């Protein structure tokens, strides 16, 4: 290379650096939405180089001129937007303090804030159990949901544990969560629970490890519900639905422990029309795990059934969602069954029908979250793989060794639940109505 070419190359690099080219960042993760309230939203992302992360936002892509940034130069960026209006769509872009924008001004980078707690309006919930295989199965289940999501987007989604196989490392979360669900993560807040595979590199007592590093979850009741003081278990409200997330894997599951005491107080405190609880280990399953065997999963299924179901049912729970068994198992309307499958009594099945409006009719309950009015229990751990089993637990109206995910629509005092297969098939459905 001639001396002149060296000079030209040097000038090119100098001007490139001045323009930010030499220090341009790469977006490695996100953006994704966390900790929504009716007046705020947390936006997170990861870059390959540290910087002061910046978010600009507004009521349209063109008017996204409000700016907020975090302190310090980081690669893990966490920015909270505040003073937002309830039930309002906002558009955003992420970048750096040097105006190096990592996302375009486009409709896909937007979100709708939750309504004020207690508001009665239609709510759509997506739930995936044991999804984190980073496999074709997981992608097919996602794609089947996306077909519905495009017509009417979900307001929030729940991850029922085992979100990143096989041991919940940061790299596995990248492959099984961020690389798979990027499109929905940038628009719809996700609310996870800890699975046994996620816990292999996480610790609930110290709130450490990739699971706790990745998610920003409420500890002080920021999104409704009672303060838990921990990200391991928490509650939140969306419209007229109260959600309770429990840690069935790595937190004390005794009936007189801190989680049980918090759950009693939280349920006593809520006035929402619906209560949906979710955690990883199913109280009733005969799939790839057996809830009758205390030795299975070190007794976690037994302890959740014996110690937490009485609290949930006393608090008026309507739906209990779990994973762990890689199958779909859905119960009748139940109350009071805390023992083995062989101890099931007819009186514990409050409605022995399908819950389908076009067959025996919906499951009917009194309003006001009165205690022991019955709940439907769903093990939906087939969003990434299926593993068989006898699938013959007597509390279940249907048990399927099929891939899929859950779609729950709540409208006033009616809840419609569907199990959507990996090719969009409607594999199960039922309705709960309150009066």
Per residue in 192-250, pLDDT tens?
999 999 999 999 999 999 999 999 999 999 999 999 999 999 999 999 999 999 999 99
Cα separation, 215 vs 68, in Å, equals 20
How many CA atoms does the CB half-sphere of 252 hold within 13 Å?
12
Q: What is the pLDDT of residue 23?
A: 52
Where are the domains positioned within the chain? 27-112, 123-434
> Quick check: bond before 290 cis, omega within 30?
no
**79-95 residues labelled b (16+ CB within 10 A) or e (exposed):** bbbeebeeeeebbbbbb
Q: Provide the 3-class DSSP secondary structure of residue 27.
A: strand
Check if the beta carbon of residue 223 is closer than 8 Å to that of residue 236.
yes
Confidence class for position 24, pLDDT limits 50, 70, 90: low
CATH topology of domain 27-112: Immunoglobulin-like (2.60.40)
- List, for residues 65-89, the tens digit of each pLDDT value: 999 999 999 999 999 999 999 999 9
User: Does pLDDT of 256 surpass 70?
Assistant: yes
pLDDT > 90: what percent of the chain? 93
Q: Which of 76, 67, 62 is nearest to 98 (CA)?
A: 67
Task: Taking residues 371-397, report their average pLDDT.
Answer: 98
**253-285 residues labelled b (16+ CB within 10 A) or e (exposed):** beeeeebbebbbebbeebebbbbbbbbbbbbbb
Task: Taking residues 118-146, report their average pLDDT.
Answer: 98
Spatial strand order of the sheet with 156-159 comes to: 190-192, 156-159, 123-128, 404-411, 414-421, 426-434, 363-365
Cα separation, 173 vs 321, in Å, equals 22
Taking the model in full, what pTM does it have? 0.94
Which CATH code fits 123-434? 3.60.21.10
- Other Cβ atoms less than 10 A from the Cβ of 179: the count is 12
User: Does pLDDT of 162 surpass 90?
Assistant: yes
DSSP 401: -
- List, for residues 304-333, the tens digit of each pLDDT value: 999 999 999 999 999 999 999 999 999 999
Query: DSSP secondary structure string, 227-259?
Result: --SSSSSEEEEETTEEEEE--TTTS---TTSHH
Beta strands, E only, 257-347: 274-278, 319-322, 328-331, 333-334
* Cβ-based neighbours of 313, under 8 Å, separated by 6 or more: 335, 336, 371, 372, 375
């Amino acid at each position: 290379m001639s001396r002149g070419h060296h000079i030209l190359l040097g000038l090119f690099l100098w001007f490139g650096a001045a323009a930010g080219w030499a220090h341009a960042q790469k977006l490695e993760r996100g953006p994704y939405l966390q900790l929504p309230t009716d007046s705020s939203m947390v936006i997170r992302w990861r870059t390959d180089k540290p910087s002061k992360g910046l978010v600009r936002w507004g009521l349209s892509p063109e008017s996204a001129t409000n700016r907020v940034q975090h302190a310090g130069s980081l690669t893990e960026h966490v920015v909270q937007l505040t003073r937002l209006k309830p039930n309002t769509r906002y558009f955003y872009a992420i970048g750096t303090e040097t105006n190096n924008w990592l996302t375009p001004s486009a409709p896909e980078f937007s979100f709708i804030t939750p309504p004020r707690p207690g508001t009665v309006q239609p709510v759509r919930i997506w739930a995936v159990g044991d999804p984190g295989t980073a496999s074709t199965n997981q992608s097919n289940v996602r794609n089947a949901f996306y077909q519905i999501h495009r017509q009417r987007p979900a307001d929030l989604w729940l991850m029922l544990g085992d979100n990143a196989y096989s041991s919940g490392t940061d790299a596995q979360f990248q492959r099984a969560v961020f690389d798979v669900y990027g499109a929905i993560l940038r628009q719809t807040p996700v609310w996870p629970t800890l699975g046994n595979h996620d816990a292999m590199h996480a610790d609930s007592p110290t709130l450490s490890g990739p699971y706790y590093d990745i998610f920003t979850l409420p500890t002080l009741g920021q999104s409704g519900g009672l303060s838990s003081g921990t990200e391991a278990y928490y509650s939140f409200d969306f419209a007229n639905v109260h959600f309770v997330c429990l840690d069935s894997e790595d937190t004390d599951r005794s009936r007189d422990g801190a989680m049980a005491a918090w759950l009693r107080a939280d349920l006593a405190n809520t006035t929402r029309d619906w209560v949906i609880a979710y955690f990883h280990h199913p109280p009733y399953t005969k799939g790839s795990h057996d809830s009758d065997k205390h030795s299975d999963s070190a007794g976690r299924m037994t302890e959740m059934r014996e110690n937490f179901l009485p609290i949930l049912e006393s608090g008026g729970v309507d739906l209990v969602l779990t994973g762990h068994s890689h199958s779909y198992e859905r119960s009748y309307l139940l109350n009071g069954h805390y023992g083995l499958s062989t101890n099931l009594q007819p009186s514990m099945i409050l409605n022995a029908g399908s819950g389908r409006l076009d067959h025996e009719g919906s499951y009917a309950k009194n309003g006001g979250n009165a205690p022991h009015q019955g709940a439907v229990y769903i093990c939906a751990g087939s969003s990434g793989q299926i593993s068989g089993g006898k699938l013959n637990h007597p509390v279940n109206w249907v048990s399927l060794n099929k891939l899929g995910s859950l779609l729950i629509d709540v409208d006033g005092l009616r809840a419609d639940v569907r199990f959507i297969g990996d090719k969009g098939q409607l594999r199960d459905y039922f309705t709960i109505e309150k009066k």
